[in-house]
């Protein structure tokens, strides 16, 4: 089967990234996937703040300053912190596993999707030059607009970032309420 020449690269990136994270989530289990999500939240805030601080440094301290450099810096900090906090973070997540094998798979896939959506949408928001803490954009004319226009998946991930950002928290809340009811 031939891949169409007009196949959007960003859509392929999103599909492949989601697939990898979902399969990885199934391998590591729900507790470790939740640790990745929590590490991602911490990393999102820290990388945005650090990137914004670096962007505001006088040119004396930061040489060769360009908008794209700050995007790379934010994404690099985000990925690095997420990895370090997930692997070496001084916190553990202990969640009761489901008894049913089918339910265990469904929950693993669900948390994998939540993790993938949070990570991918954050990277895409950073690529757009946007800041989560400030209502500013590093680009005067945003070249990312063309990508958003051409890719339906990128448009969904960026336009609904608030959903992808809040959905894991709401899921934790609901599952925690049900887990507490089952314990009593």
What pLDDT is attached to residue 127? 84
Whole-model pTM? 0.79
Print burial letters for 160-169: b (CB count within 10 Å at least 16), e (below 16): ebeebbeebe
| 156 or 59, higher pLDDT | 156
**Binning pLDDT at 50, 70 and 90, where does residue 56 land?**
confident
Secondary structure of residue 130 in the 3-state scheme: strand
Residue identified by tokens 């030059």 is: 129
**103-143: pLDDT as tens digits:** 888 888 999 999 999 999 999 888 887 777 665 554 445 66
Residue closest to 134 by CA, chosen among 73, 61, 79, 56: 56
End-to-end CA distance of the chain: 55
Q: How far apart are CA 162 and CA 145, in angstroms?
A: 18
* 44: pLDDT strictly greater than 50: yes
């Amino acid at each position: 089967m031939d891949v169409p020449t007009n196949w959007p690269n960003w859509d392929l990136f999103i599909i492949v990234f989601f697939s990898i994270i979902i399969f990885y989530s199934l391998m590591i289990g729900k507790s470790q996937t939740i640790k990745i999500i929590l590490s991602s939240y911490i990393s999102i805030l820290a990388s945005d703040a650090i990137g914004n601080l670096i962007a505001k440094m006088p040119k004396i301290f930061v040489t060769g300053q360009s908008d794209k450099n700050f995007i790379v810096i934010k994404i690099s900090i985000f990925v690095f912190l997420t990895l370090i906090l997930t692997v070496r973070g001084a916190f553990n997540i202990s969640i009761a596993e489901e008894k049913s094998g089918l339910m265990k798979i469904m929950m693993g896939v669900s948390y994998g999707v939540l993790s993938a959506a949070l990570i991918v949408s954050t990277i895409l928001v950073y690529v757009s030059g946007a800041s989560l803490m400030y209502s500013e954009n590093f680009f005067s004319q945003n070249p990312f607009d063309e990508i958003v226009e051409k890719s339906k998946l990128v448009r969904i991930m960026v336009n609904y970032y608030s959903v992808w950002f809040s959905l894991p928290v709401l899921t934790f809340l609901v599952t925690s309420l049900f887990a507490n009811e089952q314990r009593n």
